[in-house]
Amino acid sequence: MEAYPLRMRQRIIALYELGRQTAEIAEALGTCRSGTRRVRQRLRERGTLEPATRKRGRKCGMTEAHERRLRELVAADPDATREQLRDRLGVAADVRTIGRWLKRLGFVLKKSRCMPPSSSAPTSPNAARLGTGSSPTSTRTTSCSSTSPAPARA
């Protein structure tokens, strides 16, 4: 839920100062009772009507130096993998972290084909794609060592 705007908070406090009750103020301003009560409570506890800043989760480990170096690395070698970028940065971070840093810097992963698709032949026969028929190369004619019978002992 979003914080009430500063003007709304000021009106709530002004109505409390006029002696109004929480339920009356909430009904008049179209707010919930608990939110209305908390505005006065937070003013009393913190001394300000400004909404509290959110300080949750882990801090980003990317320093300004990392950011600058990462931008340089991507500019020098745009096809570098996240693993390569991590190694060149010299940080002990997971590749997913490097991916998040790249995303934060505005870089996107663009997959490009190594080769254009073949226009002369499909990659698999129609029968295999439809699940019908059988090709002689797809049926195993020999057995694996783990499934072959044990040799007879004399």
Name the residue with higher pLDDT: 79 or 125.
79
Separation CA 60–CA 56 (nearest Å): 11
Token representation of residue 150: 């044990």
pLDDT of residue 145: 46
CA 44 to chain centre: 38
Position 51 confidence tier, pLDDT thresholds 50, 70, 90: confident
Q: Following CA atoms 123, 125, 128, 129 in sequence, which dihedral angle do they give, to the nearest 10 degrees?
A: 60
pLDDT of residue 56: 73
Q: What is the mean pLDDT of the chain?
A: 79
Are 72 and 85 spatial neighbours (Cβ–Cβ below 8 Å)?
no
Mean pLDDT computed over 121-145: 54
Percent of the chain scoring above 70 in pLDDT: 69
Name the residue with higher pLDDT: 50 or 55.
50
The 8-class DSSP code of residue 83 comes to H
Q: Distances in Å between the alpha carbon of 109 and those of 19, 74, 101, 115?
A: 59, 12, 12, 18
* Confidence check: pLDDT of 47 > 80: yes
Separation CA 81–CA 86 (nearest Å): 9
